[in-house]
A and B are shown apart, each in its own frame.
Chain A
Amino acid sequence: MIEIETLSVRFGGIKPIDQLTAMLSAPVSGLIGPNGAGKTTLLNVLSGFVRPVEGAIRLDGRSLLPLSPLQRVRAGLRRSFQTEQVVEDLTARDNLAALADNVAAVGERSRTTDRALDFVGLGSVAHRLGARLNLFERRLVELGKCLIGTPRLILLDEPAAGLTDEEGARLRDLVLAIPDAFGAQVIVIDHDVELIRAMCAETLVLDYGKRLALGRTETVLADPDVRRAYLGEL
């Protein structure tokens, strides 16, 4: 469970996150909002790359803000990036192993790497260099990295961007299986409302850094304010 309390972020003159209070407890939650709404910024705050000017965040009751980004990774926080960050000259497997090196015990590394590879279905291209992987495979590498060790909170920043419908559906099934298989909570950002509807029991809508709506995905997506501010512009 992730609790966010009166969180504010300031970049010079703008406030990409403004007095945000929210609690997300569904196994898979959605985070949506128009471009520039502050979604990625919220992920950056959660993973420790952006310091808020005020507010508090708790993960399963534990205060997150005092931890450095590295400490958060060791505490089970995982994330993917909006533009995929697969290392071109490492193999798919080594991309995952690079994380296992730092978060798993020596004897566990190979096992956790293989388990994540198998889970996302990259076993057959495990030894292919990152540079030779297609976009879907790269997105799967990023997802696999999030499953190394003992993940507790997984943050996915537009994991399906650029994928075909078919690939998006496969990704959706994988993400839906994560909470049971790995015991981690997942938060997904995406612009594809249908994908969010299919994946997330609960959704938070941001608009100009403020909470526009939060609740059961169906309810939130039917909300007139949300339809006007967000869906209307599609």
Chain B
Amino acid sequence: MNTQRTLVPAAVPLAPEATVRKPRPLLAVALAMAIFSAAIALLANAFWLSALTSAMALSLSVAGVAVLYGQLGLVSLCQFALVGVGGWVTLRIGHGLQPPFEVSLLAGGVVAALLGLLFGVPALRLRGLYLALVTLMLAGAFQIVISAWGFPDGGPGFLGRADGVGRSMLARPALATEAVPYFLYCAVIATLGLMLVQAHKITRPGRAWALIRKGETVAIASGVNVLAYKAWAFALSGFLAGIAGGLLAGNVGQLEGRAFSAFESLNLFALATVGGAFHWYGAVIAGLLLRALPALLTDLGIDGYVTIGIFGVALFHALATAPTGIAGKIASLLERVSRGAER
């Protein structure tokens, strides 16, 4: 009687409408991203290009958070720390061994995936507020470590710190050394990442996650290995964060420890819900909010702190009235338009 009560926090809304129709969603992701990226590559100046490159990269890490929250109802507040881990490893491998950029990037993704899995261990037992608190503490711990260590910048030793003299930049991938090609490079990887997530959602893992979200008892009664599928979600989420970190490192050639505070992880989760955790383009919207909106305000000469206020209002709005975020609004709008067209 009581055992079948759902164990997922009650506040998590369900994705509102059709997410399931076979290969078309993947094609839609590729097409929309191609058009969006091409427009940016043609129109943006150097300042905007750099901001939008970061936005593309971060949308990957948001997609990871959205897997945990949208698919499993789990609140993880250490995602930006995992972005930092991916960036750190990418820089470390890149400076230390000078392999092709892709190798460093992949290493960053893999290490962040393993750490994401480790960070996720508490989640196998904890839920809701407790999981949020534990992951936030992990983000705090990373903040302390990274402000002491800093990011590798070509120096000697394990930490690879040059301490001011002879700091070197990480080389971008050979086929994308200039700003526009590197933006497109990031866009392609972001698209692949978003398609990877989408492919998960419409196949076996997505079905298993949906059952777990419904209730662990019903999931087990359906033969789902709950621990394995949760662990896989954490690893996937960590991998995407790590790749995002590597791409950020490649954008400027270095990373600042100061930029990886626990607040950033909190902010990333908040904007993931504002953008929308149930649709793939919610991650792109959140990436833009994280990097393009501040750039816009800078461009207009408005103080950067204003963004925090805007984000606060947007978050409040999302929590109070729009649990599926901006992407959810767009989706229902699109649905209404296409229904109108059918008539």
- Taking Cβ atoms with an 8 Å cutoff, the residues of A that contact B are 40-41, 44, 47, 49-50, 69-70, 73-74, 78-79, 81-83, 85, 87-91, 94, 97-99, 101-103, 127, 129, 131, 145
Contacts and interface: CB of A to CB of B under 8 A. Distances in A.
A82 B1 contact: yes
Contacts of A79: 221
B3 A49 contact: yes
Interface of B: 1, 3-4, 14-21, 204, 207-208, 210-211, 213-215, 217-218, 220-225
A81 B20 CA distance: 25
Contacts of B222: 73, 98-99, 102, 145
Given A82-B4, A97-B207, A69 B18 contact: no
* 8 tightest A-B CB contacts, nearest first: A102-B223, A98-B207, A85-B218, A73-B223, A101-B204, A99-B222, A87-B210, A89-B15
Main DSSP-derived SS at the B contact region: loop
B14 A89 contact: yes
Nearest to A39: B1
B223 A74 contact: yes
Contact of B215 (A47, A78, A85, A91): A85
B77 to A, nearest CB: 25
Given A50-B3, A89-B210, A69 B220 contact: yes
A97 to B, nearest CB: 6
Q: Point out which of B3, B21, B220, B223 has the most chain A C-beta atoms below 10 A from its C-beta.
A: B223
Nearest to A128: B18
Contacts of A101: 204, 207-208, 223
Contacts of B223: 70, 73-74, 99, 101-103
B220 A70 contact: yes
Contacts of A91: 20
A40 B207 contact: no
B12 to A, nearest CB: 12
Given A98-B222, A129-B18, 15 more contacts: A41-B1, A44-B3, A47-B221, A49-B220, A73-B221, A73-B222, A81-B217, A83-B4, A85-B215, A89-B210, A101-B204, A101-B207, A102-B223, A127-B20, A129-B17
